[in-house]
Amino acid sequence: MTTVLSNPDITDDERRSRLYTGQVLVYAASLESLALIEHARNLIADAFGSMDPQTAQYDMPVDDFARVLAELKPKFIHHPKSKDLMRALLSSFGCDLDRTYFDVPRMRTSTSDEFLTSGISYAFHPHRDTWYSAPFSQLNWWIPIYPVVPENVMAFHPHYWSNPVRNGSRRYNYYEWNRTSRLTAAQHIKTDTRDQPKPEEPVHLEPQVRVVPEAGGVMLFSGNQLHSTVPNTSGRTRFSIDFRTVNIEDVVARREAPNVDSECTGTSLRDFLRARDFERIAEDVALTYEGLTPADA
C-alpha cells in the first residue's frame, strides 16, 4: 500500500530507502524549488506572449499550441540555468552531489478536456518508468509550475506496487526508442502511434492516490510506482517539471525497488549527469547494470 509522507525530516539515505519500498514523499515549496519554477514561468511567458498559458488552449488551434510546446520544452531542457537550479535544489535536499546523478529536467503539460493528449503533450496511461529501461534505483521528482488540483495531477495505483501487470515492455528497447521514436513526439497531434509499453490486461484504477502539491512543492516517488495521468477536467492546462535521480552507490550495489514485471532491454543510465560537475555515469557502470554491450547505445 502506498503511504504518503509530508515534509519528513529524514536523511537522503533514509529517503531513498523509503522510496524503494513504495512510499511517496511530498515537500513544501522552498527557495530553490521556487527559483526553478520561476525560471520555467519566464520561458513559458516568452513562448505564449500575452496569453495566459493555462488557458491558451482555448484561444489557439491545437497545431499552433503543439508548435509552441515543441519549441518551449527543448528550450527549458537545454537551458544552462535549468541544470544549475537543479543542482541547487538537490543540494538543499541533502543529496551528496558527488554521488547523486540526474537526468535533464523536462517540462510537462496536460491540457484540459482532451485538447492535446498525444505526442508533445502525451497523456500517460498506467505505467512504470521501469518499463522504459529505467534503473530500479531511479527516483522521480515532480514539481507543479502553477497551482494544481486533483483533476489535473497524476494518480498512483498502489495495488500494483507488489503485484505484476502484463505489459508490453518486452518489446521496448531504449536505444531503438531514442533512434526512431523520441524525436517525432511533436508530430503526433491527434493520435500517438508510437509503440510504448502499456498494460496488456485490465488495470484496476481504484484504489488510487492523488497527491496535490502546492506550486513549487516537490513530490518524490520510485520509478517503479504504477502511475498514470489523470484525465484533466480542470479547465486549465497543467504545467509541471519532472526529473529523475539515481545514487551511484545504490546503482552499483543494486539497492533498489523490486522488479515485479519489467522485461525491457537497454538502460537509460547513460542519460544521468553527476550533480557536482554534470559528468555522465561511467560506461563500465552502465554496462554492468545492463549486462551487454549495445552496438548503438
pLDDT at site 175: 87
Does a structural domain hold residue 295? no
pLDDT at 297 over 60: no
| Integer Cα distance of 12 and 214 in angstroms | 22
Q: Kindly report, residue by residue over 108-142, the tens digit of the pLDDT.
A: 999 999 888 755 555 568 999 999 999 999 999 99
Q: Kindly report, residue by residue over 86-111, the tens digit of the pLDDT.
A: 999 999 999 999 999 999 999 999 99
Does a structural domain hold residue 97? yes
Domain span holding position 121: 4-290
Does a structural domain hold residue 297? no
Does a structural domain hold residue 80? yes
Give residue 254's identity as a one-letter amino acid code: R
| Integer Cα distance of 5 and 66 in angstroms | 36
Give percent of the chain above pLDDT 70: 90
pLDDT at site 122: 54
State the total domains in the chain. Answer: 1
Q: What angle do CA 164, 165, 169 make, to 5 degrees?
A: 110
pLDDT at site 98: 98
Mean pLDDT of the chain: 90
Nearest to 226 by CA among 140, 104, 109, 105: 140
pLDDT (mean) for 19-25: 98
pLDDT (mean) for 32-57: 97
Q: Kindly report, residue by residue over 234-272, the tens digit of the pLDDT.
A: 999 999 999 999 999 999 999 999 999 999 988 999 999
Does a structural domain hold residue 208? yes
CATH code for position 21: 2.60.120.620
Q: Kindly report, residue by residue over 161-209, the tens digit of the pLDDT.
A: 999 999 999 989 888 888 765 554 444 344 445 578 999 999 999 999 9
